[in-house]
Each structure stands twice: as C-alpha cells, then as structure tokens.
Structure 1
Amino acid sequence: MPNEKRGSVVTYPQPEHAAEHERATHREIARWIAKRHGMDFLGEYDPAKDYPAPVYFVPADVLTDRQKAHRLGIRSEQDLFGGVVSEPFMATKAIVHPLVSSQSPAPSAWSDEFCQRVQRVVLDGYSAFSLDDAKVAGLLLLEHGPVRIKAVRATAGRGQAVASNVDELTSILNTLNADEIASHGLVLEGHLSDVTTHSVGQVRIGNSQIAYYGTQHLTTDNQGAVVYGGTDLVAVEGSFEVLLTLKLSDELREAISKAQIFDTAATQCLPGFFASRRNYDVACGVDAKGIRRVGVLEQSWRIGGASSAEIVAMEAFQATPAPKIVQTSSIERYGAEQTTPPEAIILFSGVDATVGPITKCVMLGGYDYKQ
C-alpha cells in the first residue's frame, strides 16, 4: 500500500447474512489501517463511487475470482488485507488433505503436488468431494481411531462431528448434503484429544510486517456450543524466520516450522495465490495411540478472529523506542453481562441478530482467560 499519497480504505461487501458483530469488527480494523497509513476510511465499497487512489480493500473473505480482483485494482498483497486465490475450494480446509484415490472426483484445479508437499505437516486425513469417498475415507481412518468430520466452509469451530465407529460415521454422513460436498468438499481427519490450537501467522501492510504465534481459547456461545473465544498473540517485526529466533518450546517451534512449510507450498503450488494475511491454525494434541501430534488444521487468508490483535501489535511496534516483542489479545464473550479489562478496546458490544448478546474487544498485553 503506497504511503507517499493519501488514498482510500474500504471494506468489501459482505454477504447479506453476515453477522453485525463481524461487520462492526471489520469496520474498526479498516479504520485502524486507514489511520495508521494516513488514508481515509470511506466505508463499504460502492462500485458506483470514484475513490481517491490508491484504494486498499479489507474484504470479509478470501477473493476467489482473480479477474474480478484485478478489475477492482487488487493485483498484489499490497492492495488488500486478506488474500486472493484462483478457485473457491483453495480458500477452504479442503486443500489440507489428499484425495482417497487418483480416481476420486475433485475440482479441475486440484493440486496433488500441494497435498504431497504438506502431507508431513498436517494430521492424517482425507478430503472428499462425494459421499462415497467420504465413507471410504472415514473407514480408512477408523482403523486407527476416532474420526473428526469437518464442513470445509464452517468457521469458529462449528460444523464438526466425531465418529468412533462405523455406525456413527454412517449416521453423520447421512445428515450431510451431497451437493454441498460435491461443490465444496468435506474433510475427515484423525481426532485428537487434549488439544491446544496455536495460531501462527504473518501479516504485511505496506512496508510493515509482523510474524506471530499464539494460543486460541474457547468459550460457550448463547446456545451452549463450545466455540472460538479469542487468541493471545506474541508478535515480532519481520517474518517467520525472525519468529523462530525467539526462545520457544519444542512444540511451538514445530508448530511455527510446519506453518511455514504449509505457507511456502501454497505460494509455490497454488497458481494466482497471494495474501497479506497468512494465518494458520496448528493443533497440538494426543492421537488414539497416545502419541502427541502437531499438525496444521487449516489456513486463513482473510480477516479473522485474531486480526484485531494483529493490528494492535503492528501499532505497538511504531512506538519510540520500538519494542522487540509485543503481546496482544483478542477476546470474544457471549451473554448479556460481560466484564472486560479496563484497558481493552471494545469492538462490538450488544445484541447481534445472528448470535445474540456478544462482546468483542482487543487489548495490548495478555488476558487471563480464567477470569
């Protein structure tokens, strides 16, 4: 994003069903980006308007049409907070695992090379684009323990189920939509227990770049489901390589290294892909044999739950003197009465028509999730 002249920052239209708390959070992040770079935040993008150039986009999701992105003026990671892929499936969990066979149905742009490159950094699993393949994949995985079945477009930990035997597998698959699977895919992978999910990422805006690791936390939503509740981040200025120079536990070092391998494979194997936000969920847990496993679960090349913490970290590095390491936290809590730390910045607090009462905030420094 050029800094030599004032330009415009806009959010890119979200689906009509998008939750208001998501819209509000995205607007606040876009405002921060505009302020930090001396640009004007001009709200949601309107194709009928003529915006002062350069225009920097903050889309709600990965852009999956390269030609459309190009028409908007999005030609590189310098033009957006997020990412661009050439096919919709590349933006989902479906790319993480291989197909069950060379005859399996798959999108025409499916990359076997990418699957081969990342196989050693992900958990055991398969992607399926038919219910028949899903059944075969599930049976293969059940030979080694319980199977986690994941809808590829679901977020925040939703859209998942675990099967411990053939009857449970069949029952779960019978509830799924065959057309949805044919269009977008389904992921089946070995289930882990005692799981910690790390966020590992790299974000670039203009000439500024940070890399970070963090730990995700869970909370209970208004329906009683266990969902994403926030992330603690530890960030440095620079790339994954700089992050790896820190004093880290063996598990964290392995998580960062595996995310880096996944990221490199995506850059080299997925044609047309670029992203300014490269975030990876990495699970550390115990498999059915009692072995501790570390594997990349999925990628996020779009604005996400930890993005507010990423932006606050980038702002902190602009202080004089600049810190070498920054810790930030994003926090999400459901329910009408929530107490937030006095130093936290509130992004949204109210009743969302989609999820009910919710409070979202971000803060510099760590947050005690036991509060």
Structure 2
Amino acid sequence: MSATLTSRHDAVVLYPSRRHVPEHEDRIHHDIARRIANLLGRPFDGVYDSSRHASGHWYFVPTDTVLTPATREALGIRNELDLFGGYADHPFMPTKAITHGLVGPHAQRPAGWSDAFVEHVRGATLPGRTAFSVGDLRIAAQQLGLGRHALRLKPVKATGGRGQTLLADADALEAELAQLDTESLAQFGIVLELHLQDVTTYSVGQLRLPGLTASYIGTQRLTSDRHGEPVYGGSQLLFARGGYGALDALPLGPARRLAVRHAQRYDRAADACYPGFFASRRNYDIAAGTGPDGETLIGVLEQSWRIGGASRAEIAAAEVFAADPACTRIWAETREIFNDSEPAPPDALLTYAGVDPELGRICKYVMVHAYDHKHAYD
C-alpha cells in the first residue's frame, strides 16, 4: 500500500472532457484515477456527474486539458493542485499549434495567440510554421522550401503520430488542402514542419501531485498498428524525485541533456506567455534527427498537459516514491503491443488486454525497474 500524500479534497473524480475516449484509454484512465485517489488518501467517486458533484471540493482527473474560464469556475478548479492534467483558456493552446510561429504579422490567428511564446521557444523547436487558413498554409510551404525539402503536415489534435502526411511537393500539398475543414482550421490551426530522417523521440516531463513532484527523461518506442502504420508504442522513462533541476544530476548523454533544456525552455515560456495556464502533468515530446542537408536537429514537437500515454508509468513511479521516501530515482516504462506481435514479460502489470473496437487487439502494460547509476543514458 502506498503512503498517503497530502490532500484536502473530498474525493477524486474522473472528468470526461473529451466527447469520445476509446475503450482501452477509458480503462486505463479509471485505473489511474483510482491509484491517484489511493496516493492522496481520498476515495474515488467515479465519473463526474454535475448533479451528484454539484457541491464539494473534488480532485479531477480530466481526459483532456480543461478549457475555458467558465468550465474551470463551474468545476471549482483553482490551480494545479486540483487536477491531474492542465488548464488553458483557449482550444489551440494545449495543441502542437503553439510550437511554431505564423507566416507573418498579418497572418490569421485566433484570439489569445502569443507571438511572444514563439520568440521564447525559438531555437528549442524544429523549423516549422502554424497556419489558421489555407492561404497562410500555402505561404508556410513556400517559406519552408517545399519541393526542395520534404515537409510533414500535422493535424494539431491528433495523437500517437496518427494523421500526419509527408509532403514532397506543391501538388501533394494541394491534394491535402482540398480535404481540409476550414472551420476547424480557423479554430485549431495546422502545423507544417521540416521532415527529419532517423528520428529519436525523447520525452521530458513532470508530475506535481499534492505533496510530491517528480521529473523524468526518456525515449518513446514506435510500433505498428493492425494496418501496419507506425504509431506510439510506449515510453521508457528515468524518474528523479523533485523539479527539473533533479534531472541535471543524472548521468545523461549530450542529446538527453539538450532535450531536457529545450523542454524546460518550452515549459517556462508557457507559464510566462499564456496567462491563466497551469498544469500538474507536463509532458514534452522532443525529436532528434537528420535534416535535409545532413545536419543533426533537435527540438520540441509538442506538449501534453493532460493524461497521456506515459501517465501510467508516471503514476507507477509516484507510487514508489510515495511508499519509499528514501528512493530518489527509478525507471518506469509503458508498452503498447498490437496484434499479439510480442508477449508481455511475466513480471509486467497488464493495464489493458483485449480487442478494442477501434484499434483491434491490443495489449498495454507497465513495468518498474530499480535505478542503475553506473551508466550514462544516451
């Protein structure tokens, strides 16, 4: 049984802030909410119900970033100590749209857009642009050298690497433009980014539960879904008790150390440039790969201020830290396996195993390993 952290909430509730959550995610979300309740020494009171939870002080586990001041006020969420995830004023903020700048000062933009944020993260992101109109997207393609360089078109709300399109020339771009929903484009935007080869994706993040903060650095794993498409297959993460500074003391290789610095820069910019934003779960994906001229590039791809693919590993690490105050570093990893392509290890804790109506047969598990201080991690 994990040690109890500090919380004055009446109970922990799961808040469905997305219209639809796949079955496998829903199962894991419930498991995470129950485990957070155990960590906080509070009961788990199920899925939020506006009538049953009309009064009281609840700790929320939202399925997505909580949006708009009206929702936050209605739920009674005051700050990051009231939820596992994050809060943002505008729908575009918790997406990869904010990672890149617009094509110019007259580009279309939503209310609340921060040019200052783009300036703060310049150099910590890859070459790319965000557009909120078809015209601006064409200009972005010209600015980024489409035709001379391959570019990647990224829907800003897609997760797990899904929905992206590799563009080789203007004809390929026009074919994609013909299918865009211009209303959604104006609200959320779309990203055009330089395509890299031989990519390694790092994850840097932090969780802040009442009474416990932990930070981590690790790598993501790709796998193939039932259609043979490459998708997110899990994360192997090295956790350190404390803030981002705790990662500085780890024996990291140069690429991981740079990934941590880029993530910190992005994280600080969000706090500084988007008033009202707060998050207790902060995860940043950083890609390192080879650019079109053979140069090595590394930069933040996007942020996740919500429960995510690595969250089950985050909670597993938190449980160890809570149970053993002397423990300061630990490995935790998640795996996602499709179509019975490989068996789960015998010491793995299964978090989902079954046939999801959307993804087919899938197995998910989490593992925790003792920290090995003898090696640097490159």
| 1:39-62 CA distance string (max 9 Å, x none) | 111111011114885411000000
Select the residue among 182, 188, 196 that pairs with 1:178: 182
Name the counterpart of 2:318. 314
Matches within 5 A, 1:263-274: 263-274=267-278
Q: Distance in 1 between matches of 2:197 and 2:165?
A: 14
Q: Distance in 1 between matches of 2:128 and 2:154?
A: 11
TM-score, normalised via structure 1 length: 0.94
| 1:290-343 CA distance string (max 9 Å, x none) | 110110000000000000001111111234463231001111111257521122
Please tell me the root mean square deviation across aligned C-alpha atoms, in Å.
Answer: 1.8
Matches within 5 A, 1:222-261: 222-261=226-265
Q: Distance in 1 between matches of 2:53 and 2:191?
A: 42
Letter in 2 for 1:68: T
Q: Distance in 1 between matches of 2:9 and 2:109?
A: 45
Q: Structure 1 residues 239, 321: closer, same or farther in 2, change over 3 A?
A: closer
Name the counterpart of 1:62. 65
Q: Distance in 2 between matches of 1:120 and 1:7?
A: 44
Q: Structure 1 residues 173, 320: closer, same or farther in 2, change over 3 A?
A: same
Q: Distance in 2 between matches of 1:5 and 1:150?
A: 41
Name the counterpart of 2:365. 361
Paired residues of 2:100 and 2:130 also in contact (CA < 8 A): yes
User: CA offset at residue 65 of structure 1?
Assistant: 1.2
Letter in 1 for 2:287: A
Matches within 5 A, 1:75-224: 75-142=78-145, 145-224=149-228
Q: Distance in 2 between matches of 1:214 and 1:329?
A: 9
Q: Percent identity?
A: 44
User: CA offset at residue 5 of structure 1?
Assistant: 4.9
Paired residues of 2:15 and 2:63 also in contact (CA < 8 A): yes
Partner of 1:100, secondary structure, is coil
Letter in 1 for 2:194: G
Name the counterpart of 2:353. 349
Paired residues of 1:219 and 1:333 also in contact (CA < 8 A): yes
Bigger mean CA offset, 79-88 vs 181-190: 181-190
| 1:166-187 CA distance string (max 9 Å, x none) | 2222223333222221121010
Q: Structure 1 residues 321, 44: closer, same or farther in 2, change over 3 A?
A: closer
Partner of 2:123, secondary structure, is helix
Bigger mean CA offset, 345-354 vs 48-57: 48-57
Name the counterpart of 2:23. 20
Paired residues of 2:5 and 2:41 also in contact (CA < 8 A): no
Letter in 2 for 1:271: P
Paired residues of 1:83 and 1:277 also in contact (CA < 8 A): yes
Partner of 1:89, secondary structure, is coil
Letter in 2 for 1:218: L
Name the counterpart of 1:369. none
Instruction: Say how many residue pairs are matched.
Output: 366
Paired residues of 2:7 and 2:41 also in contact (CA < 8 A): no
Paired residues of 1:141 and 1:190 also in contact (CA < 8 A): yes
Q: Structure 1 residues 279, 47: closer, same or farther in 2, change over 3 A?
A: same
Paired residues of 1:25 and 1:348 also in contact (CA < 8 A): yes
Paired residues of 2:62 and 2:83 also in contact (CA < 8 A): yes
Q: Distance in 1 between matches of 2:149 and 2:101?
A: 19
Partner of 2:66, secondary structure, is coil
Letter in 2 for 1:146: A
Q: Distance in 1 between matches of 2:87 and 2:219?
A: 26
Q: Structure 1 residues 100, 182: closer, same or farther in 2, change over 3 A?
A: same
Letter in 2 for 1:147: L
Paired residues of 1:281 and 1:299 also in contact (CA < 8 A): yes
Paired residues of 2:9 and 2:58 also in contact (CA < 8 A): no
Paired residues of 2:133 and 2:189 also in contact (CA < 8 A): yes
Q: Distance in 1 between matches of 2:187 and 2:301?
A: 21
User: CA offset at residue 16 of structure 1?
Assistant: 4.4
Q: Structure 1 residues 171, 307: closer, same or farther in 2, change over 3 A?
A: same
Letter in 2 for 1:44: V
Paired residues of 2:7 and 2:210 also in contact (CA < 8 A): no
Q: Distance in 2 between matches of 1:39 and 1:12?
A: 16
TM-score, normalised via structure 2 length: 0.93
User: CA offset at residue 207 of structure 1?
Assistant: 1.2
Paired residues of 1:58 and 1:82 also in contact (CA < 8 A): yes
Q: Unmatched 5+ residue regions in structure 1?
A: 367-371
Q: Distance in 2 between matches of 1:77 and 1:44?
A: 20
Q: Unmatched 5+ residue regions in structure 2?
A: 371-378
Partner of 2:108, secondary structure, is coil
Name the counterpart of 2:376. none
Q: Structure 1 residues 128, 247: closer, same or farther in 2, change over 3 A?
A: same
Letter in 1 for 2:25: E
